[in-house]
Structure formats: structure tokens, C-alpha cells
Structure 1
Amino acid sequence: MAEDAEIANMVDDMDEEYYDKDDDSEEVELDGYDMLTKVTDTTAAQARRGKDIQGIPWERLNITREKYRQTRIEQYKNYENVPSSGELVDKECKQMEKGGNYYEFRHNTRLVKPTILHFQLRNLVWATSKHDVYLMSNYSVIHWSSLSCNLSEVLNFSGHVAPTEKHQGSLLEGFTQTQISTLAVKNNLLVAGGFQGELACKHMDRRGVSFCTRTTYDDNSITNSVEIYQKSSGMHFMASNNDCGVREFDAERFQLVNHFRFPWPVNHTSMSPDCRLIAVVGDHLDGLLVDAHNGKAVSSLVGHLDYSFATAWHPDGRTFATGNQDKTCRVWDMRNLKSPIAVLKGNLGAVRSIRFSSDGQFMAVAEPADFVHVYSTKMDYKKRQEIDFFGEISGISLSPDDESLYIGVWDRTYASLLHYGRRHSYSYLDSYL
């Protein structure tokens, strides 16, 4: 993962030259500013009538949406650790057919303001039901209910956070002004990782924070990803760090049960459904499939041209995917790991988040900005739905029942939470059920 000094400024949300302005009228400019900054929510009904899903008033701008989309694709700078990795992919790889329509727009919520602290880490949005979403907004973990339209703060890291429970190895003095780099919320457990190797754990049905620790005191110790999963012995979670370590914890006693070390910084890991294998990717062209019991490599994953930042397992336990800064998501089959079964190319940049639906029918893939692709696994990933908007993506999440897809949008003017709902095709007789 890139050092802090390498972090560049993001592409602007809208270039000023595209706004309608009248040099002779200050009032027009002020009206335009108010118009751009006081955008309201967008409902599904409004979108069907032609309103932009983000509320962008294209009719008031000096550029059409189509022209700005073209300009954005041409000018967006994809971050690469290996020079020209994306260009090589563009020459060798074609995009899959568009036209899938698996999730439909439901609502764009402007009250929710997702944020990002590190441009390479985009796993900061988690849906625990089709109505409940947790995400980062500045120093706060917030909860949004799309049912009640209520926004509430769950945990604030701007001040002092310390554990209220006593567990062996817990840092009783806690943390102050923790910068959160990654987040996971699942099965009533919240785990947040920080820039200095911090881990903070909270049971959602208990008051206070249950556990705090520093996984490492190395200079470059950022927590790049966390994953929560169920094992036969109970709930566990795994943290991947820039110190080349992967640590597994028991989520009930918060004890370290495994610590695996790798030759390069680990950017993302995910546990297979049977908890026997771990997909591991990081600051190396090749990924690894490792034994979850001893951390030994079972197989290398060869094909990506840059560093990887995303992994995910299909519920069948045979298929998994990796996302890379070469602008591809590659899908692998356990039965033959010599080459991926699918190479899926993005529009703008790196693949930074991947989510499979619980029923295994879909795979959602997020680029750094503007695009989320939903692939049909039944169609062998050859058909996709392209969700198109403007803004950096803080994270994506499918609800456990697959009914909702949430997308966090980070932007100076149009920050919001996009909500899509699963499309269903009901037959005539279904209307009686």
C-alpha cells in the first residue's frame, strides 16, 4: 500500500468551468452556488420522471452529463504502483456486455456524508439488514436506517476511546483521535481499524467499547482491512496490516489465535466459507491462497499486473475473486488456479471493493469512483449491470438478504448514500401469495 507521502489529490467533483456563470451578475452566481450546495434527496419516483439520481442540475451547467462522463473517463488518473499496468489491461482486455438490470435505484440520501481517509482503502460501508447501514463519516461511525430515515452516531473516535470491559491484552488506556482506515460490521459486532495499527471492537448490544489493542507499533502499521466471520468455535475476525501481518482474533474473548507473516504488506484477506483457506493479497503482483490453520501457501494467484486491494469468496466455497490496481477483478476457481476463469475490466481505475450476494447469483465490484458493476454469476460473469454516478466511492455493501445494495459517495458537493433494491420478476400467480 502507498505511503502517506504518495497520496495525491482526488479528481475534483465538478470543474468550475462547467458551471453556468454570468460575470455581470453576482446574484446569478450566488443562486448557482445555492442551487449546487442545497441539493435534496432523490426518490425512485423522481428518478423515473427524469431527475438525476444525485440531483445534479445538468440543465443549469455548461456541459451535458454525457460529455462530462466522457471527459471524466479521459481525465481520471488511476493510481498505480506498477507504471502502465492499467494501460496494458486496456489493450488486452475487453469489458463484459452491459445490459443487466439486477438492482434498481431506490433513494439517494444527502443527509448521510460518507468520508474516506486513505484513497486506496474503500471498505467503509456495511449493511446489516436491508434497512440498516453503518459507515464512516469523518471521525464517527454512524448508523443510517432507510426505514425510519434516522441518522445516529454509534462511536466517535475524535476524542478518547477506551474499553469498558476487561480482556487479556486489551489496551486499557485506549486511543485518542484515531484515524479509521477500515471498518467491518456483522452479526452484532463492529470492528474498526486505524492508521497506527489500532483495533477497536464493539458489541452492538452492549454499552461502550469491548476491546482496544494496537496490533503493531511499526512505523508503517496501518490496518488495511478487517473481516468478521463465523467459525464452528464462534465468531472470529481477521485484521490485515501494512507490517506484513495477518492476525486472527476470537471475537468473544478477543484473544489472538493466529498470527501469519508474509513477505509484503497485506492489503486484504478473506476467509473461505468453510474456514479452511484464506485469500491474501497485498503489495505484490501475485496473490496467495493459504491454509487457515498454519498460514502456509497452498497456491499462488498469478495474472494481475499491479498490487491488489480486494478479495471475496462466493458462497459455494470454490470460487473467489481478487481486485487490483490494474483495473481488473479476476475470478478464480479452486479446481484450476493456473489462470482466472474471468477477467473483468473497469472503466476508470482500480477494483477496490468486491461483494458476492449471499445467494451467490451476483458479484458487485466497485471502482475508486463513479462506477459499481454488478455481474451475473449465472451468466458466467459475461453480463453486467453498470451503476453510473459521480464521486469517490467509500464502500459498497449488499444486505445479508441481498435485497439492498448501498454505495457510499464521497464528494465535496454531492456526498450521499445511494440505495438500490433487488429487482424481482413476479409471475401472475405470485400476486396471490
Structure 2
Amino acid sequence: MTNGDFDEQYLIPESGAVIQDYLDDFLYTSWYTGKRDLIELDSYGFPTEANFRVSTDPLVGTTVRQSIDFQGIPWGNEAIGPREYFRLYRLHTYSLACNHSDWSPDELSIDDVRISPYDPFFEFHTFYKTPVCVKNHFHLCKNLAFFGEYSILYVSNSGIQGQNLLTKEVADVFDFRNSILQKNSICCLSTSQQLGCFSTLYGQYGIFNPKTQSCSIRKMHDESINHIQLLDYKGLAVLGCNDGTVALEDIEKTGNQVIFRGTDAVNSIHPSPDLSLLLICSDCKRVPLFDWRSNQVVDEIFHSDSVLTGSWHPNGHILATGGQDTTLKIWDSRFFKYPIRTLGSQMSAVTNVVFSSTGDSLAAVEQADFAQIYNTKTFSDCQVIDFFGEVSGANFSPSGDTFIVGLDDPMLGGIMEFRTSIPSHLTCFF
């Protein structure tokens, strides 16, 4: 795990920090080896997108070898310099939020993982530059979802848009610029087989049908609804709120019932596949497992800092949690005393954790720059996807054959698509 000095863990980054800021600061560090007079700046003095364009001049780049990565950045040109130096700069200076100060990265016990750079589980397929994916809270990064195998829904500055992976077309699904929604307020987007839903930082939420483009916008209270998830065949939605409550919403009756009250902001909620348990991830170090049937907390699992995300394996026994302590923990619901595995991030907090539908793969996506995909046979083999940008969301397709990551950045943002490079022959041990 490479997180830089621990003192920097307590610095909270400004929401919406973008590559211009990092690149501009990078130009004045010892890591920078390019030529500042070749950097194109805008009227505010920030580097522009032109610095990342590949030159068509055959003489440019003849003295320094350019290496184009899958985001289209021409690393190695005379202006920017080599990619590895900017990566080192990001690793040492990226600031993390920290809610609980009684821990240190040096004290975390992280299990060893074999990184597979030459035998990836998923290969890069396409980078969709047109989509403008946004996130409106620095660690609520669930603004991207599949609706069917080849359609992606994502939050944009104007509302909710769609990207077709087959036709490459982008379409407006809902334009909320003239609606009752406050500007740039959507903090969570999720889908089921038939419907979609979103929640906002101002206590609003919506249930919508992308096919008919019908949407019902509702108001719960003035507190942020940090996470919402549909229970499609139950006709219910479960909502996790900033005031520490978890509520059930009847989609047809448009009424909600609070089923859990905590003292810490709920970051995400994750029902088990059989709906017997609800994993409640909050700003507390403890993660309660709530039993729907008895309306009681039946167990707890622990991190060293706030817990941001979780996911259940399709078998209903194994689950994963990720948090601000920069760890991913794997648990067996039949024995919660200790995690099966404790795995470290590359740079920042783990904000998205998701199992594929087959259970063969587990993705742990960080707040920025990195996603790790684990072989769930032993959780000892890992593919690291290395990019630049703040993550707006990440997910697997319904079949598990496609993995997408949304990036919120005006210059380098978009949607990255990865597809399975090897047959799904991995057999889970549980």
C-alpha cells in the first residue's frame, strides 16, 4: 500500500478536484521533468486539454518517446514528461479524508496479493470520451449503473444520460435542469431489471423507467439520501440517509417506513441475495448486519475507519466491505469474528466494491486512479487497473463479462470499458 505520509490522510480534498489542479501543482515539483514553457494554459492559468492531445506533427516526439495510454494521454512528450513521475507524485500527495484518528497505515495487517500485469482478467476495450460523468460528493461514488447488458446510465451535469456500448450512441434519459431537483445534487444512481432510481444530497429521490422515460420524484426530508437500491421483485426501495436512518419505500404507495436508526451517516446499504440480512455501511467503524425478519442487529463487523461500501457474493455467504482505512475486507457470514482476507488499496479510500453476477470476480474501486479486480477463488490474485481521475462509479454488466469505470474530470473524464480476456473457468472455493 502506497499512501504517502500519514499526516496527509487527515486532509480532506475539495469536492470536484480535477486533473488541472494536480497537473498544475506537479509542474513545480521535483518529479516534473518536462518543459513548462510548452504547457498550454487557459485564462485562469490552468493546463488545458490540448496538453493531452497526440501531436500529428511527425517531428514532435522524435527526441522523446511518447507512450499513449488508454485514456489517450501522450505521456513522454516534451511538455508533460514520463507517466511514471506523475504517478509517483499522485501516490505521495493525494489527500484522503479520515474520520477516526486512532489508526495508522503502518499498523494495518494487509494480506499479500499476486498482481497479474501480463495475464489480466479483464482487457481494456474502449474509452468513451463523450460521456460527462459527474459525482457530487467526494466519497459517494455510485453514479454509474448498467440497465441491461449493453446500456449504461450515468449522472451528468444536466441529469441522467445513457451510453449504448454497441452503437456508441449517447442519449439524454432525463434532463433535470428545469425540474424541482437542485443543481448537481444526485449522489447515487442504481438500477434493477425493470426500473432505475436515484437519490440526492437534499433528501429527494426518484423512481424511473428508462424505457418509457417516466419518473416520479419524491421528498423524504432535508437530509442527504446517500444511497438507494431497488428490491425489484418486492416492489420496494431501501434508502440510507445522512441522519443515520435506513428506510423502506413502497414504490406503488409512495410511502416510507424507517426500519433502522443509527447515530452515524449511512453511506450505503446492501441487502443479502435472499434479503435476510442488510449490511449497513456508515461513518462508524462498526458495520451492523440487520435482520429484516426480527428487526434486530444480529452481528457486527469492523474496519479502522468509516465504511463506505459493501457487496454480497451471489452465494449469500461471502461479502466484502471497503472503507476510508484504505482496506478491502472479505467476510464469511457464517463466522464474522475475523475477516477471511484483508487487502490494501493502491492510493486512496475504497469507495466501490462489487461482485460480478457469476461470483468469479470482485472489483474494489478507489476514490481515484485505481481499480483492483480479484480472482475470488482465493483472493490471492489481482489485476490492477491504473488510470488518472476521480471515480464517479463502477460496475459489472449483468453477465459479468464487462466492467466499466466512470471518471469525473473535464479533460480526462469519460467511461472506461473492460471485457473478460479469458474464459470464466474460475471456480469459487465457497
TM over 0.5: yes
Counterpart for residue 352 of structure 1: 351
- Counterpart code for 1:229: L
Once the two structures are superposed, residues 115-146 of structure 1 have per-residue CA deviations (whole angstroms, 9 ceiling, x without a partner) of 11100100011012332111111231110012
- Partners of 1:416 and 1:207 lie apart in 2 by 23
Counterpart for residue 422 of structure 2: 424
Aligned 1:184-199 pairs, distance under 5 A = 184-199=190-205
Judged with a 3 Å threshold, the aligned counterparts in structure 2 of structure 1 residues 52 and 300 are, in CA distance, closer, same or farther, namely same
Counterpart for residue 101 of structure 1: 120
Counterpart for residue 35 of structure 1: 50
2:212 is the alignment partner of 1:213: no
Aligned 1:75-224 pairs, distance under 5 A = 75-83=93-101, 85=103, 87-88=105-106, 91-99=108-116, 101-161=120-180, 175-177=181-183, 179-209=185-215, 211-217=216-222, 221-224=223-226
SS state of the match for residue 68, structure 1? helix
Aligned 1:22-421 pairs, distance under 5 A = 23=37, 33=48, 35-36=50-51, 51-60=68-77, 61-83=79-101, 85=103, 87-88=105-106, 91-99=108-116, 101-161=120-180, 175-177=181-183, 179-209=185-215, 211-217=216-222, 221-231=223-233, 234-256=234-256, 259-302=259-302, 304-378=303-377, 380-421=378-419
SS state of the match for residue 358, structure 1? coil
- Partners of 1:34 and 1:413 lie apart in 2 by 5
- Partners of 1:236 and 1:77 lie apart in 2 by 38
Q: What's the offset of the Cα at 1:77?
A: 1.2
Q: What's the offset of the Cα at 1:296?
A: 1.1
8 Å Cα contact 1:360-1:377 kept in structure 2 = yes
8 Å Cα contact 2:192-2:232 kept in structure 1 = no
Judged with a 3 Å threshold, the aligned counterparts in structure 2 of structure 1 residues 286 and 250 are, in CA distance, closer, same or farther, namely same
Judged with a 3 Å threshold, the aligned counterparts in structure 2 of structure 1 residues 400 and 86 are, in CA distance, closer, same or farther, namely farther
Q: Which runs of 5+ in 1 are unaligned?
A: 41-48, 162-174, 428-433
- Counterpart code for 1:336: F
Tell me how large the CA RMSD over aligned residues is. Answer: 2.9
How many aligned positions are there?
391
SS state of the match for residue 388, structure 2? strand
Once the two structures are superposed, residues 55-110 of structure 1 have per-residue CA deviations (whole angstroms, 9 ceiling, x without a partner) of 11112244311222122111111211123745245x53255220151110001111
Judged with a 3 Å threshold, the aligned counterparts in structure 2 of structure 1 residues 13 and 132 are, in CA distance, closer, same or farther, namely farther
- Partners of 1:23 and 1:205 lie apart in 2 by 51
2:15 is the alignment partner of 1:14: no
Judged with a 3 Å threshold, the aligned counterparts in structure 2 of structure 1 residues 86 and 213 are, in CA distance, closer, same or farther, namely farther
- Partners of 1:34 and 1:70 lie apart in 2 by 21
Q: What's the offset of the Cα at 1:39?
A: 6.9
Structure-1-length-normalised TM-score: 0.83
- Partners of 1:264 and 1:22 lie apart in 2 by 46
- Counterpart code for 1:251: I
Counterpart for residue 61 of structure 2: none
